[in-house]
Homo-oligomer: A and B are copies of this chain.
Amino acid sequence: MSKRKNETVPYTLVIHGGAGTISKARQNEALEKEYKKALREALQKGGEVLKKGGSALSAVRVAVRTMEDCPLFNAGRGAVFNFQGGHDLDASIMDGKTLKAGAVANIRNVKNPVELAYIIMKKSQYVLLSGADALDYALENGLKIEDSQYFRTEMRYQQWLKARGSDHMFLDHDTPVDDKKFGTVGAVARDKRGNLAAATSTGGLVNKRYGRIGDSPIIGAGTYANNHTCAVSCTGKGEFFIRLVVAHEISSIMEHGGKSLAEACEIVFKQRLQTLGGKGGVIALDKNGEVVTLFNTKGMYRGIKKEGERDKIFIFDQ
């Protein structure tokens, strides 16, 4: 069936706020409510864009930006501390229509890394910029800058103090810090014109060092979007997602193997990631609006908005 020019499809937005060993026992109720509220807000703001006929690309930007601004999540404000006690931020965005992409790794002081990733995609000849030199690009392009204090939260500081001195890095959810488990954020969307987009943003692993880059700013690993297949955003121990090229692999299994989105996600998560011992989660959305949220951890913060349906927010059960 071919779609007529002005015909529209139902829009969809899916977001995540990280996956990890979130357990009901450890999660106190008040905090659970805060998370759900924050997820609902991101879903609402991103959804508003789609409702008005905006692009999937704008919707994932807005949803991820909203979560970057929320201190509960490990992205933007509230990012984990690195080995030196600073905040290194990673983000990426991809447009499924054009296969254009932008990403930034180990950026500091940029309030919304996803906006920088977007500007890199939109205005530059690059895909991936990194480190202190990428800040020059942010400054030249008028991105909003914040001092280090802005990104600092007491909870993250305590989390870092417990990790510091060790050579140990961990997912923020897996820390020994009680009742505080947060994570990478991401969004995938399909707009009324049927275009797909994906975006991801993170502060990476607690106490990370040596300029480590995870999967979040890597197109194909943590983020991928292609109108012919699906849009994907991942969260978890990035090294495994890079080795398996997870986001792109899901798309490839659909495109070349003729599998459904659900089957592709199952193959990658239940078979490949499991075999290597990788932990994490994924949100994915195919060109027909099918949604998959999958994780092999105890929980994943996530929300789903489908046009004409009630918003859904989950933390635990698949």
Q: Which residues of A contact B (CB under 8 A)?
A: 99-101, 105-106, 125-134, 136-137, 169, 209-214, 218-221, 224, 238-239, 242-245, 248-249, 252-253, 255-257, 276
B245→A125 contact, CB < 8 A: no
For the complex, give the distance between the alpha carbons of A169 and B127 in Å.
14
CB–CB A252/B256 < 8 A: yes
- In the complex, the 9 A-B pairs of residues with the closest C-beta atoms, listed nearest first: A252-B252, A256-B257, A256-B256, A133-B211, A220-B245, A130-B211, A131-B211, A137-B210, A128-B213
Name which residue of chain B comes closest to A126, CB basis.
Answer: B212
Shortest A40–chain B CB gap in Å is 33
Across the interface, A212 reaches (CB within 8 A) one of B128, B218, B253, namely B128
By a CB distance below 8 angstroms, the chain B residues around A132 are 131, 211
Known: A130-B131, A133-B209. 8 other contacts (CB 8 A): A105-B130, A106-B130, A128-B242, A131-B132, A218-B220, A220-B242, A253-B256, A256-B257
Q: How far is the CB of A233 from chain B (nearest CB, A)?
A: 15
**A243 and B126: CB pair below 8 A?**
no
A242 to chain B, nearest CB (A): 5
A130 — which chain B residues lie within 8 A by C-beta?
105-106, 130-131, 211-213
A155 to chain B, nearest CB (A): 24
| Contact with A257, one of B136, B210, B257 (Cβ below 8 angstroms) | B257
25 examples of A-B residue contacts, CB within 8 angstroms:
A99-B243, A99-B276, A100-B243, A105-B213, A126-B210, A126-B212, A126-B239, A128-B213, A130-B130, A130-B212, A131-B132, A132-B211, A133-B211, A134-B210, A134-B211, A136-B209, A218-B218, A218-B219, A218-B220, A219-B242, A219-B245, A245-B248, A248-B248, A252-B255, A253-B256
C-alpha gap A169/B125 in the complex (Å): 9
> Which B residue's beta carbon lies closest to that of A140?
B210
Rounded to whole angstroms, the CA-CA distance of A127 and B208 in the bound complex is 13
Note all chain B residues with C-beta closer than 8 A to A224.
245
Complex Cα gap A78–B12 (Å): 50
In the bound complex, residues from chain B placing their C-beta under 8 Å from that of A242 are: 101, 127-128, 219-220
**Chain B residues closer than 8 Å to A133, beta-carbon distance:** 209-211
Instruction: Give Cα A224 to B249, complex, Å.
Output: 13
Which chain B residue shows the least CB distance to A208? B126
* A99→B256 contact, CB < 8 A: no
B134 touches A244 (CB 8 A): no
Decide: B243 and A127 in contact? CB cutoff 8 A. Answer: yes
Asked if A243 and B125 make an inter-chain contact with CB atoms under 8 angstroms apart, the answer reads: no
B residues near A127, Cβ cutoff 8 Å: 238-239, 242-243
With the chains together, A208 CA to B126 CA distance in Å?
10
Return A246 CB to nearest CB of chain B, in Å: 10
A219 surroundings in chain B (CB, below 8 A)? 218, 221, 242-243, 245
| CB nearest to A244 among chain B residues | B99
Q: Within 8 Å CB of A134, what residues of B?
A: 210-211
